[in-house]
Amino acid sequence: MVDLRQKPYNLSEEQVQWVEETIRSMSLEEKIGQLFVNMVANEEERRPENIKKVLDTYHPGAIRYHNASKEELWEMAKNLQDASRIPLLIASNCEMGGNGGVNEGTMLANGAAMAAMDSEDAVYEVASISAKESAAVGCNWNFAPVVDLTYNWRNTIVQLRAFNDKPDDVIRYAAAFFRGMRTQNFATCMKHFPGDGTEENDQHLIMGINDMSVEEWDKSFGRVYKALIDEGCMTIMAGHIALPAYSRKLCPGIRDEDIRPATLAPELITGLLKGQLGFNGLVVTDASHMIGMFGSSVSRREQVPGAIAAGCDMFLFFNDRDEDFGYMMEGYKNGTITQERLNDALHRILGVKAALNLHVHKREGTLVPPRENLLVVGCKEHHQTAAALADRYITLVKDRRSYLPMTTEKYRRLKLVYIGSEATVIAGTKFKSNDQEIIGDIVSQLESRGFEVDAVVEQKKGRMEEFKARYDAVLLVLNVQGFAQFNTMRIKWDEPAKQPWYMSELPTFVLSLSLTNNLIDVPMARCYINAYMPSHEAFEAALSKMMGKSKFMGRLNDNVFCNRWETRF
């Protein structure tokens, strides 16, 4: 049973009393509802009457939402907290800046970019601005940082979101991230236990498998989680990732076909995480619409209560609210979820709320900050910070033929080739890419620096000599990103004329605004730069460095060479 007087809650007697009294006052329906994190998916669901209907019917303990404008989200948060008898945890997903919590939020630096800076102060700054911007719209819980280890260069689901493949670095950066989040009234979180980054699959599409031995896991992911649990992390997101070696150790004789993702494996959540590692905080599942869980070998009817029975305390997202609520209630009534397990989960959920003094803020009417706090979201100062960070993380991987600097004197006439992204699926909803907006910004910045830019996509290659007479160089911009459609993202040459035939004809500068492993598809690139982010500030900093106006300062990780010899020259 959880101890609310100990880390990570450290509750006072008054706070413990509120938890106990609140649980005693709850109906069975309210108790079951507290186990759910409800998704507010769109404008219709943000309407006050619909918010009230969901809260009155399903009593969720927490909320996540799809991004919208800061004004809309502030109103949503106020309506949610006003309509809920028990204060709500409202979660953002600020892994790389306030843009993970609100449309106008500032994109600062993702995990890979933070590692490229190798600065705990920079990580702290990213987290503190993320906290400030998402707190302004009413958030008090953040699903970040990603503490996975990028041991497999082919893994694209956490390649940019995680820091790197060095446990000591991840511990340092994550601790700094927590300190930044604590500058606001936030519950800290880390993900995805028991650890992604060892394989190339995406849990949105298939169950992940961390195939490390017990000894290997203990020295890597286990060390990271233990250190950050000891640091005081309040919540952990469990991934739809199996850890077969530990399942076999903790459940001798378990059949291969009975090995489950952590979200459904009591030996991993209750035995390893809460038992062996001593985690006293709250465990939330990763999104339950993901096929890594949804496509498990047990039915949804079993999955919903099974996750709580396994030791997870909150269930992330309804599929169908009526059906999933019914499954959870049925699981309690048939004994899948014991009274002891339900009671323990409720104490952990309410314990986090008490640690944030949400009950006091509820009483005082301060659960949602004043509307004027919205001024900090995407403010000039935060964009100046984004620019300063970009100046530090842009990474030159190679310039084997000394093409740099890319000056207007040598390369005024540029052919721009842009490879964009597929649509991205987030929490079960498909979002289009913003490639045209990014291309427009790139062209504008290049032209403002004196370059002549041709971004037209030709229907065919044409004659080589005519091409060389028309342009001085090619700028190939790669913005390959997205997940939940492919297990591994690779460059898609969507037009034949975009294929890299021009690298043998003209100096070609390759700039990645996203994934760092693109050399697997362009090993012949002689000049390659990682900018990590498709933001205005990232391209601006990269361009400045490419033109020789500032130095490259980013630290590269050897994963960029994709464990191949030919990518290095």
Q: Which residues are catalytic?
A: 286
Of 171, 319, 313, 157, the closest CA to residue 241 belongs to 157
Q: Are 487 and 201 in contact (CB under 8 A)?
A: yes
d(CA 160, CA 559): 12
Number of Cα atoms under 13 Å in the Cβ half of residue 230: 10
Secondary structure string (H, E, C) spanning 55-83:
HHHHCCCEEEECCCCHHHHHHHHHHHHHH
Asked if residue 208 lies in contact with residue 240, where contact means CB atoms within 8 angstroms, the answer is yes
Q: Which residues contact 193 (CB under 8 A, 6 or more apart)?
A: 225, 236, 237, 238, 239, 241, 262, 268, 273, 283
CA torsion 540-545-547-549 (nearest 10°) is 100
Helix (H, G, I), strand (E, B) or coil at 294: helix
- Here the tokens at position 5 are 């007087």
Helix ranges, 111-255 (H): 111-117, 120-136, 167-181, 214-219, 221-231, 244-250
The secondary structure element, H or E, covering residue 14 is: helix 13-25
The CA distance from 312 to 410, in Å, is 60
Give the Cβ contact number of residue 49 at 10 Å.
8
Task: From 322, 360, 428, 356, select the one nearest 32 (Cα to Cα).
Answer: 322
Residue 99 DSSP label: G
Buried b (16+ CB within 10 A) or exposed e, 274-298: beebebbbbbbbbbbbbebbbebee
Instruction: Verify cis geometry, omega within 30 degrees of 0, for the bond prior to 145.
Output: yes
Q: Alpha carbon 103 to chain centroid distance?
A: 15
Residue 107 per-residue DSSP state: B
DSSP classification of residue 336:
S
CA nearest to 445, candidates 336, 558, 549, 314: 549
Q: How far apart are CA 123 and CA 172, in angstroms?
A: 9
According to DSSP, the β-strands at 141-142 and 189-193 are unpaired
Q: Which residue has the tokens 């998402």?
A: 134
CA 447 – CA 413 distance, rounded (Å): 10
What is the four-CA torsion angle of 239, 244, 250, 253, rounded to 10 degrees?
140
